[in-house]
Amino acid sequence: MLSAQQEALNRGLVLPRYYGEDRLVLLPRDPYCIFAYWEITPATRERLRERWGEEAWNQAFPQLRVVKQNPAERVEESFEVTIQAEAENWYLTNLQPDCYYHLELGWRHPAAGFQPVLRSNTVRTPRDGISDLIDEEWQLPDWKSRKLYRRISLFHLSSPELFRRPKSKF
Does a structural domain hold residue 98? Answer: yes
pLDDT score, position 166: 59
The 10s digit of each residue's pLDDT in 114-132 is 999 999 999 999 999 877 7
Distance CA 114, CA 77 (A): 16
Asked, for residue 6, whether it belongs to a domain, the answer is no
C-alpha dihedral over 111, 118, 101, 78, to 10 degrees? 0
Q: What is the pLDDT at residue 94?
A: 95
Domain CATH number, residue 95: 2.60.40.10
Provide the 10 A C-beta neighbour count for residue 59: 15
- Say how many domains are in the chain: 1
Q: What is the pLDDT of residues 72-101, one digit of tens each?
A: 888 889 999 999 999 999 999 999 999 999
Contact yes or no for 102/24 (Cβ under 8 A): no
Residue 64 included in any domain: yes
Is residue 103 situated within a structural domain? yes
Distance CA 157, CA 152 (A): 11
75 domain residue, yes or no: yes
Q: Is residue 137 part of a domain?
A: no
Amino acid identity for residue 52 in this structure: W
In a domain, 60, yes or no: yes
The pLDDT-based confidence of 143 (bands split at 50, 70, 90) is confident
Chain CA centroid to CA 127, Å: 12
Q: Is the pLDDT of residue 162 over 60?
A: no
Which residues constitute the domain of residue 87?
18-124
Residue 164 lies in a domain: no
What's the whole-number mean pLDDT along residues 21-32? 96
